[in-house]
Amino acid sequence: MNLAVKDIQHNLGRFALTVLGIGMLLMIVMGMGGIYRGLVEDATLLLERIGGDLWVVQRDTRGPFAEISRVPRTLAHRLLAVPGVQSAREFVFHTIQRQHEGRPLRMSVLGLSWPQDKGQWLPLVAGRPLAQNHFELIADKTLGLRLHERIQLGKETYTVVGVTSGMASTAGDGMIFVTVWDAQVIQFDAPGEAIRLERAAREHRSRTEDIFLHQPLLAEQLARPTADLPAAASPELSAVVVRIAPGANQEKVASTIASWSDVSVFTKAGQGELLLKGMVDKSRRQLGMFRTLLTIIAAVVMSLILYTLTLDKLHSIALLKLIGAPNRTILGMILQQAIVLGAVGYGIAYLVGQKVFPHFPRRVVLTNEDLLRLAIIVLGISVISSVLGIWKAMRAAPNDALMG
């Protein structure tokens, strides 16, 4: 006869509520670990999916994910002339927030280097990649945009031709994918009144500045849109992603590009390290601290629960001692209850978490390594938390059973 099982059956209602509470607490601990992993995965998602070997950004900046980076479109052509470079992909990335169907819609915009990149590498769950270089987009399903739905961004209307999954930015915002040109149009869109004021300012300059007074034909061009002015530079890129040709020396190629005075070069690993030690570092540490505190709280709560359960059984424990039951029997009963409490609580945490975590605003990634580590920690907590109950049980005197 197993005394631990008999005692659990005798107090089944209390044990069920207790193990449910422990399970919910462990689910939060598990969720914190999953959010931590999800944060890291979101931060390095584009680095892994795009697959570039080198990231070329504006000089003395840390790349498009950490801060504003601006490089000219001609940089991609310059990079293709470097020996050892297989391809140079234009990269435009920014975040916007718009109203859509009466609700705020925050999204990160990634420009695809059309026509080489049409989004074939995206994990599509519906629809297709881009088929034309304007007015089509692919959206992550977390944004709630439906296939073939039309959405206005800036002054243009775009059609959702594809829906992807698991594509979120470091901030957890769902991503949309358009061509580089469309991404720049969205990024630099200005309201009509701002354009009118800019044209008025140009007209004023044409009447006061010498260059326009001496060149009347140049002044006539000022009424045209800014994007059409021949003297105005084309919109700039956030970065250029370089892929090294097979057999080429990556360090030599990076060294050649780094010698240019207008750009900085980071390897894929270097850009990932900047992301983890820069943008998401504080969030990672904060989640780690919360996870540690919750684990300690779980240990304290389990210790108090087992101590309370032991207090309720002191008369029974004293009676067992009176009839000659060895200490190891009593010790085993409390230890087994602690392990069952932890194991069942862990099982509830996992099963409930599988249903709840997909609905979290941020991605929750549960790895086998983290689950195994938490299981070992829960086992250790169960054993350690039983010590207080065992200590109280060992102090119970057999004569206490005769005192009522």
Tokens of 390: 């065992």
Query: Does residue 129 sit within a domain?
Result: no
pLDDT number for residue 159: 93
Q: Is 199 inside a domain boundary?
A: yes
Q: Do 222 and 327 fall into the same domain?
A: no
Q: Model's pTM, two decimal places?
A: 0.70
The whole-number pLDDT of residue 56 equals: 92
Other C-beta atoms within 10 Å of 356: how many? 12
Determine the Cα–Cα distance for residues 159 and 127; give it in Å rounded to an integer: 11
Sign of the four-CA dihedral 53, 57, 59, 60: negative
**Number of domain units in the chain:** 2
Domain, as residue range, for 195: 191-231
Strand ranges in 101-155 using DSSP code E only, listed in sequence order: 103-112, 124-127, 136-140, 150-153
101 occurs within a structural domain = no
pLDDT at 1: 41
Asked, for residue 110, whether it belongs to a domain, the answer is no
Residue type, 99: Q
Is the domain of 225 the same as that of 315? no
Task: Tell whether 294 and 197 lie within a shared domain.
Answer: no
Q: How far is CA 68 from CA 79, 109, 236, in A?
A: 21, 14, 11
One domain for residues 287 and 351: yes
- Whether 318 and 377 share a structural domain: yes
Q: What is the pLDDT of residue 64?
A: 79
Tell whether 125 is covered by a domain.
no
Q: Tens-digit pLDDT profile for the chain (404 aa)?
A: 455 566 666 667 777 888 888 888 889 888 888 888 888 887 777 788 887 889 999 888 877 777 778 888 888 889 998 999 998 888 888 888 888 888 888 998 999 988 888 888 888 999 999 999 889 999 999 898 999 999 988 888 999 999 998 888 877 788 999 998 898 888 877 666 666 776 676 666 666 665 555 566 555 565 555 555 554 456 678 889 999 999 889 889 999 998 998 898 988 888 888 777 766 777 778 888 888 888 888 778 877 777 777 666 666 666 666 666 676 777 777 778 788 888 888 999 999 999 998 888 778 888 888 899 888 988 888 888 777 667 666 666 655 545 55
Distances from the Cα of 385 to the Cαs of 53, 336, 376, 378, in angstroms? 50, 12, 14, 10
